[in-house]
Amino acid sequence: MQKTCQKCGHINPTSTGDVMEACPNCSAIYSRVAQAMAQQAAKAVRPTAASPRGIKEFAEQMRAASLYPTFRGLVHVIYLVMLVMAGLALVMGLLALTKGEGMTRIAGFAGGVFFAIAIFVFARVAKEGSLMLADLSDAAVQLAAKER
């Protein structure tokens, strides 16, 4: 049976197929070379920083070891306060709809809903932007530390 060595490319026309058979050219054991190449291929398939899953895991690890935990906590508190403000704007709009009269109730409801949506969107964008700033700062410090 003919066997080609995966390490050196030598073709062995007298191969027996034994598990511990070695290449006559480089002495590599065929089965071990195949096993090592399979392990390398498995590593190549694992998620890297370029895959979405790898990026998210990397970001979570970086955020867990952030140099700015107080800033991140403050961002979350401000986000929650803004969500409460959006909820209050919505409640005020609903109150205007139920307690108001004439055009005031329609305008009050529309204004309340508009401000609730606007505050909610602004809160989300401000939170993402602020956390992105902290992520960039953490990444810059990590890069600087690696170059030292």
Instruction: Please give the Cα distance from 69 to 138 (Å, whole number).
Output: 11
Query: Residue length, the chain?
Result: 148
Q: Is residue 77 within 8 Å of residue 131, measured between CB atoms?
A: no
Q: Is residue 16 within 8 Å of residue 1, measured between CB atoms?
A: yes
pLDDT of residue 3: 85
pLDDT tens by residue, the chain, 148 residues: 788 888 898 888 888 888 888 888 998 888 888 888 888 777 665 555 556 667 888 888 888 888 899 999 999 999 999 999 999 999 999 999 999 888 989 999 999 999 999 999 999 999 999 999 999 998 898 888 888 7
Instruction: Please give the Cα distance from 62 to 54 (Å, whole number).
Output: 12
pLDDT of residue 14: 86
Give the pTM: 0.60
pLDDT of residue 51: 61
Amino acid at 109: F
CA nearest 18: which of 5, 7, 29?
29
